[in-house]
Amino acid sequence: MSAYLIIHAKVTDWPTFSQYTQLVPELVRQFGGEYLVMDSNADLLEKAGFMALEASELGSIVVSKWPDVDAAKTFWHSAQYQQAKQLRQGCGEFNVILTNGL
């Protein structure tokens, strides 16, 4: 069953964050993932709960598709990604959700 990583990012330091964005897409491909959504202009249609945001706070949304949850977790916990992830430390706030598809 396919799995999806859904990332909500509020980037505050784009120049530094760009180092991360130069490395990660290739890692995603190497581990079997593919990007479906990269949008910094999404519309907030409803808000509640843990992501109760104002429209101006929405930031960027990234969705990647994976063969299954295990593949996504293998990528996420890999030494290569953990090293790349350090490049985004201090660059903003990131919420990451991993979910199964239908």
Tens of pLDDT, residue by residue over 13-36, are: 999 999 999 999 999 999 999 999
Q: Find the domain containing 65 and state its range.
A: 3-100
Q: What is the pLDDT of residues 51-82, one digit of tens each?
A: 656 656 678 999 999 999 999 999 999 999 99
CA distance 38 to 42: 9
CA distance to 54, 66, 74, per residue, from 45 (Å): 10, 26, 33
First to last CA, the chain: 7
The total domain count for the chain is 1
The CATH number of residue 25's host domain is 3.30.70.100
pTM: 0.88
* Distance separating alpha carbons of residues 71 and 4, to the nearest angstrom: 10
The Cα–Cα gap between 18 and 21 comes to 5
Distances (CA, A) of 36 to 1, 15, 47: 16, 24, 23
